[in-house]
Amino acid sequence: DAGVTQSPTHLIKTRGQQVTLRCSPISGHKSVSWYQQVLGQGPQFIFQYYEKEERGRGNFPDRFSARQFPNYSSELNVNALLLGDSALYLCASSFGETQYFGPGTRLLVL
């Protein structure tokens, strides 16, 4: 079975631009969570979605938004990009409590 997939794998943007990252969960998983991992640190929670509804939000500004689709895939949007948004963005899916991570999208903001 396929694991969590994310696209694109790498992305380069400039300050002020907008970006959309995509995630497909493991088949049968209805919950998707997003995390931001800055180099040298552990992942930080951004959002969790379950059955298309937001179930939790981390300490991130309103420039960050997300949604989940009927097929349980998800998108993370970041508006008005800042240099500090450069990071590895990780998506995790879960059926019960255990979260399984995708390979991430490496975003570089110049």
Partner 1 sequence: GQQLNQSPQSMFIQEGEDVSMNCTSSSIFNTWLWYKQDPGEGPVLLIALYKAGELTSNGRLTAQFGITRKDSFLNISASIPSDVGIYFCAGQLRETSGSRLTFGEGTQLTVNP
Interface residue list for partner 1 (CB under 8 A) = 4, 33, 35, 41-45, 48, 50, 55-56, 58-59, 90, 92, 94, 97-104, 106
CA 32 to chain CA mean position, Å:
8
Closest approach of partner 1 to the CB of residue 45, in Å? 4
The residues pairing with 32 across neighbouring beta strands, listed in sequence order, are 49, 93
DSSP string for 6-17? EE-SEEEE-TT-
Nearer to partner 1, 81 or 90 (CB): 90
φ, ψ for residue 84, nearest 5 deg: -70, -5
Closest approach of partner 1 to the CB of residue 16, in Å? 27
Closest approach of partner 1 to the CB of residue 79, in Å? 22
